[in-house]
Structure 1
Amino acid sequence: MPTPVPAARQCLAPAAVTALDAAVASARRRAHAQTTSLHLIASLLSPTAAPLLRDALARARSAAYSPRLQLKALDLCFAVSLDRLPSTPASATTSNDQHEPPVANSLILPPHC
């Protein structure tokens, strides 16, 4: 069973809450039923996110391709993957703008907060 976003936020550090909020916003924008690891990684790769993941990828770069090209390729891969996730019909979603797609089990560690 997916975890409600407020419950997930309680167990996270402030930087992780920011990343989770960006992932939830992405899932909401795409009308996805759950916030998944795809949403999280895609939001961490976005230019507006903290550069931690992008910097780590740049340091681990391949000699064959520039870090900028590698990041663009990753961004495209995640965008295509997110586009393939099923969206919920407009009638099934609530009209409330505060609706937050729950966090998928793949993102939640066993409760110990």
Structure 2
Amino acid sequence: MDLRGVQHLSLREIAREAGISHGQLQHYFASRQALLTFAVDFAAEQTTQRIRRSLEQLGDPPHPRDVLRLTLMEMLPLHADARATSRMNAAYVLEALHDEEALARTHDAMTRDALRWRG
């Protein structure tokens, strides 16, 4: 894969790395930005689910200190899923530095889902 960073990757390169055709990838994602947005949103959803499962084990109502601790611990790259999420978020932030649409969605994708623990 291209080592110059996510902002230089094309859908064609991503498809090749995934072992699928460019057309197959384009069937689901019209652009690299759409793919990256999906990945960040999916990662946020997975993080939210992990936090929610952990919070359910704390009792009702959980102490705010415990809620904060669980949330912050999940945001640290302490396990494979959190490391992957951290990398995707960093890639998205870098993308947002050069793309107004990505910038507009950054706050939404990174905070809304991760902090909505009681839904």
Report which structure shows greater RCO (CA 8 Å, sep ≥6).
1
TM-score using structure 1 length: 0.29
Between Structure 1 and Structure 2, the one with more helix by share is 2
Structure ID, larger Rg: 2
